[in-house]
Structure 1
Amino acid sequence: MQNATLHQLKVFEAVARHNSFTRAAEELFLTQPTVSMQVKQLSKTVGMPLFEQVGKRLYLTEAGRELFTTCQDVFDRLSKFEIAIANIKGLKQGKLRLAVITTAKYVIPRILGAFCQRYPGIDISLTVTNHQYVLDGLASNENDLYIVSQPPEDMDVEIHPFMENPLVVLAPRNHPLVGQKQISLERIAEEPFIMREPGSGTRKAVQKLFDAHGLPLKVRLDLGSNEAIKQAIAGGMGISVLSKHTLALEGLTNQLTILDVEEFPIERYWYVVYPSGKQLSVIAKEFFQYLLSEGKAVAEATALQKLL
């Protein structure tokens, strides 16, 4: 194992955690052949296969399970070492690891920009992914802090709301319902919807509202990207429900508008969470406090500047 590299171990750990070469490649910003090659080289170093494929599913071998446990121990020790070094250095330099849901990408980078100006020596690792992947990362303690719109109910975590995240009904500007006041939920239920994939926080919130009123949610199209949904709305394929913050980058020339629908906006929040008992680094503590005390004001101020 003296010939194994830290990079190979990181690649192997990601594949083992996801049970997928493809997902590991996406997380690490590598190509799938590169991931496969790194795992193959590590298997040669170990002298035994680390994975076996049964049908389309990937399983760890006995040697793979042993190495996966070892990797988790090693990376946990390295993380604690980095925290110790960051504490010694204070806020002059170090790294902050964040994982955020896709909708938060419209807000968190603006908050991070102001934070980095205040502490220019800090490096940021920002992972933007869907709700389930953020929760997976939270469960395995991969990052310092996590931004979600739907806090987990089955994990022992610290949960703190820091900013409103209202869900609104979006339609193209030439939609016949534009301009109408207090459109009934029954009327809006007649429209075809373009929605995020099942399991997303937004999809669950909308489905819960429609179910409470005994109304069907007519989903014409599932898409895994807010940008793709906005393009589909502009193309006249239907209407959707998204965070109001997804319009932040549209400027004054956007092709979408918010419909005035009863029961909307659905009031939601963004939360910063981390495992209970986790030892936050000095940098993570500072950003945590920054989010709670200044995050909302900074995000709204920078959004206004973009529109002026």
Structure 2
Amino acid sequence: MIHATLHQLKVFETTARHGSFTRAAEELMITQPTVSSQIKQLTTAIGLPLFEQIGKRLYLTDAGQELLTTSQDIFGRLDNFEMTVADLKGKKQGKLRITAITTAKYFVPRLLGSFCQLHPDIDISLQVTNHHDMQQRMHDNLDDLYILSQPPEGIDLHTAPFLENPLVVVANVDHPLAQRRKIPIKALNGEQFIMREQGSGTRQAVQKLFAKYRISVPVRLELGSNEAIKQAIAGNLGISVLSYHSLTAEGGMPELTVLNVAHFPIQRQWYVANLATKQLSVIAETFRDYLVEESRPFQTRLNDSLLAIAS
């Protein structure tokens, strides 16, 4: 192992992440034979196979999995060292990798934009995905920070709340309930509903509330995105429960309205999280603190909007 080079470890880490020599070569902008040669040399140095091939995909052996963990730790520490040196020089520069749950796309880019203006030398990668894929990224230790509304069970995380995530009932402006104020939750019984996919945090919160008050609704559609649900509501296919943040995008949709239903909004929270075993870089800590501080104006506007709906 003492003869392994950083370049070989980088080639290995990229290959392991993609499960493919070809895709690793594309990312690293080298030839596939070069990737194969570097992996072969590394395998010889270690004395154990690192991959096994099943069909067209590569899978890590036990030794390969251990080496992947070691490689990620080495590159993470080197990145942190570079960022620490930059910080000692009075600069903030380096890489910041963030994964956010889908609904967070309505406000996170704006916060990132102002952060980048303060620290223009930071290279930021933002992935937007669902709960299932986010948990996989956590298992693979691919990111510095995660922005989510429901921390998963079984993964040791450090979390910090920074913004409320209220879930509200949304209908077409022509829906009969849209003309009513202070709607009892029982009025939702039998209403055609559009739900998020199974496993969605929003759906779980709705089902929990409906079970508490014995509300039964037929699920007319099951959709995997807030944008698709909003279009379905605009098309008079039913009503739904959405994060209020998904309704505040630029331009909005005049066909939609928030219903003033008892026991709504369902109060949830946005969190910024990191793996408990991961040492955060200077940049990740700076952004986490920035997120908590700069979300306060968002919270004030959110409170004002919800008060207007309830009045």
Whether the TM-score (by the shorter chain) exceeds 0.5 is yes
Distance 1:15 1:123 in 2: 22
2:188 touches 2:215 (CA, 8 Å); kept in 1? no
Q: How many residues align?
A: 284
1:249 has 2:249 as partner: yes
Alignment deviations for residues 24-46 of structure 1 (CA, whole Å, 9 cap, x no partner): xxxxxx8xxx89xx9x8666875
Cα distance change of structure 1 residues 119 and 46 upon mapping to structure 2, 3 Å threshold: closer
Equivalent positions of 1:171-182 (< 5 A) are 171-182=171-182
Q: Which of 16, 22, 29 does residue 13 from structure 1 map onto?
A: 16
SS at match of 2:177: coil
State the one-letter code of the partner of 1:50.
E
State the one-letter code of the partner of 2:287.
F
1:96 has 2:96 as partner: yes
2:84 touches 2:282 (CA, 8 Å); kept in 1? yes
Equivalent positions of 1:79-158 (< 5 A) are 79-90=76-87, 91-158=91-158
TM-superposed deviation, 1:142 = 1.6
Cα distance change of structure 1 residues 61 and 7 upon mapping to structure 2, 3 Å threshold: closer
Query: What TM-score do you get using the length of structure 1 for normalisation?
Result: 0.80
1:74 has 2:76 as partner: no
Cα distance change of structure 1 residues 11 and 216 upon mapping to structure 2, 3 Å threshold: farther
Cα distance change of structure 1 residues 53 and 230 upon mapping to structure 2, 3 Å threshold: same
State the one-letter code of the partner of 2:70.
D
1:107 touches 1:299 (CA, 8 Å); kept in 2? no
Query: What TM-score do you get using the length of structure 2 for normalisation?
Result: 0.79
Aligned to 1:211: 211
TM-superposed deviation, 1:125 = 0.6
State the one-letter code of the partner of 2:146.
Y
State the one-letter code of the partner of 2:86.
K
Distance 1:142 1:88 in 2: 23
Distance 1:297 1:94 in 2: 28
SS at match of 1:178: helix
Distance 2:256 2:190 in 1: 19
Percent identity reads 43
Greater displacement, 198-207 / 249-258: 249-258
1:110 touches 1:299 (CA, 8 Å); kept in 2? no
Aligned to 2:293: 293
Distance 2:37 2:52 in 1: 10
TM-superposed deviation, 1:80 = 1.3
TM-superposed deviation, 1:277 = 4.3
1:159 has 2:162 as partner: no
User: What 5-or-longer segments of structure 2 have no aligned partner?
Assistant: 41-48, 305-311
Alignment deviations for residues 260-307 of structure 1 (CA, whole Å, 9 cap, x no partner): 1111100011011112242111111111111112223258679x9xxx
Cα distance change of structure 1 residues 93 and 15 upon mapping to structure 2, 3 Å threshold: closer
Greater displacement, 286-295 / 164-173: 286-295
1:111 touches 1:298 (CA, 8 Å); kept in 2? no
1:207 touches 1:217 (CA, 8 Å); kept in 2? no
Equivalent positions of 1:26-37 (< 5 A) are none
Higher Rg of the two aligned structures: 2
SS at match of 1:159: strand
User: What 5-or-longer segments of structure 1 have no aligned partner?
Assistant: 22-29
Cα distance change of structure 1 residues 246 and 301 upon mapping to structure 2, 3 Å threshold: same
